[in-house]
Amino acid sequence: MKRRYISVAIGVIVVMIVAIFGNLMKINKVEVEFDDAPISVDAVEIYSFSTIKLGDSILSLNENVVKKTIMDSYEDNSIAVTDIVRVFPNKVIIYCQEHVPMCALAKKNNQDVYAIADGDFQLNKVVNRQEANLDELILIEGIEVGDTYNTDVFKTLNKLFRALEEEGLNYQEQAMFIEKIVFAVSDITITTRGGYTQKFSYTPNTIAQATKGFYQKYLTEANL
| Domain of residue 151, CATH code | 3.40.50
In 3D space, the residue among 181, 168, 176, 180 whose CA is nearest the CA of residue 215 turns out to be 168
Mean of the per-residue pLDDT values for the chain? Answer: 91
Helix (H) or strand (E) holding 140: strand 138-145
Specify the pLDDT at position 85: 97
Q: Which residues contact 189 (CB under 8 A, 6 or more apart)?
A: 180, 181, 182, 197, 198, 199
The dihedrals phi and psi of 78, each to the nearest 5 degrees, come to -75, -15
Specify the pLDDT at position 19: 42
**What's the half-sphere exposure (Cβ side, CA atoms, 13 Å) at 124?**
13
Q: Is the pLDDT of residue 32 over 50?
A: yes
Co-location of 212 and 147 in the same domain = yes
- Residue 5 included in any domain: no
Co-location of 127 and 205 in the same domain = yes
Co-location of 78 and 137 in the same domain = no
- Residue 9 included in any domain: no
Q: Which domain holds residue 180?
A: 103-221
- Residues 106, 72: Cα–Cα separation, whole Å: 26
Q: How many domains does the chain have?
A: 2
Specify the pLDDT at position 224: 64
pLDDT confidence tier of residue 37, bands split at 50, 70 and 90: confident
Helix axes 207-221, 152-166, angle to 10 degrees: 40
For residues 199 and 211, the answer to whether their CB atoms sit within 8 Å is no
Co-location of 86 and 138 in the same domain = no
Co-location of 115 and 42 in the same domain = no
pLDDT confidence tier of residue 4, bands split at 50, 70 and 90: low
- Residue 54 included in any domain: yes
Co-location of 178 and 68 in the same domain = no
